Copies of this chain bind each other. A is one copy, B any other.
Amino acid sequence: MGNEYDRDEFFLQYASMPRSEQGLSAAGEWHQLKPLFEPVKGKRILDLGCGYGWHCRYAVQQGAVEALGIDISQKMLNQAEKLTHEEGITYRLCGIEEYEYPAGRWDFVVSNLALHYVADIQWVFQQVARTLTPKGVFLFNIEHPTFTAGVGQDWVYDAQGRPQYWPIDDYFISGERKTHFLGCEVTKQHHTLTQILMGLLRCGFVLEAVEEAQPSQEMLSLPGMKDELRRPMMLLVKARIEK
């Protein structure tokens, strides 16, 4: 990805999102991601695109002995450092496509809302398969293919400005999508469902969960949240390596 997260105006916007101010409990996907989290006691965790480090801290609070969070945004990592008081967590300025993925180094690899910035997702799957210990788990949440194939990744609105439907196009043409997020132009990568799931299967992963994120009952009362039932935005995948 380009490093949009380090642009001042983008970062300011990001910093004021509920998930940035309040952490996991304010993230729409957490009520589904949390039950998929491995028991981490005594485990070593790698977080790809760690952002503010919420998942690293959660893992260590649950008993993980080591966590490494990588991210390409120094601003995000500065904030992560500020928020972190736990032992055993390291943050590193490093892209998901640059990390060295040492063989058999990590028991659990997690990635939340970062892989849709990665062009060659198949390569990342191969690296994760290699860096996991036997029976290790890869848990990630990626923007849903129906979302990334959205035309301009936005609704079509009716005359009153209300979302009318979610338009998709060029689904099987994977790759770069220009979109607007938090007032900036952001480049994302569209991957088909086939590329995501067959990509994992081809690397020797066994699929343990494939879930689309839906707002929880409590979140449905928040403004605009009912529209989240109209098209899937995020795809959660839990996969275990067989080796």
Which residues of A are at the interface with B, using a C-beta cutoff of 8 A? Answer: 146, 149, 151, 156, 164-173, 192-194, 197-198, 201, 206-212, 214, 229-232, 235
Q: Which residues of B contact A197 (CB under 8 A)?
A: 207, 210
Contact of A168 among B165, B170, B206, B214 (CB under 8 A): B165
* 14 further interface pairs, Cβ-Cβ under 8 Å (given A169-B230, A169-B231, A172-B229): A151-B165, A156-B167, A166-B168, A167-B167, A170-B229, A171-B230, A173-B229, A192-B212, A193-B235, A194-B212, A197-B207, A198-B211, A201-B208, A201-B209
- For the complex of A and B, 10 pairs with smallest distance between CB atoms: A165-B167, A172-B229, A197-B210, A165-B169, A207-B207, A194-B212, A171-B231, A166-B168, A194-B211, A169-B230
The quantity of this chain's copies bound in the complex is 2
Interface of chain A, helix or strand or loop or mixed? mixed
Check if B210 sits within 8 Å of A171, measured CB to CB: no
Check if A192 sits within 8 Å of B230, measured CB to CB: no
Q: Which residues of B contact A146 (CB under 8 A)?
A: 146, 168, 171
Which residue of chain B has its CB nearest to the CB of A156? B167
Q: Which residues of B contact A208 (CB under 8 A)?
A: 201
Check if B167 sits within 8 Å of A214, measured CB to CB: no
Considering the chains assembled together, what is the distance between the CA atoms of A149 and B167 in angstroms?
A: 11
Q: Which residues of B contact A229 (CB under 8 A)?
A: 170-173
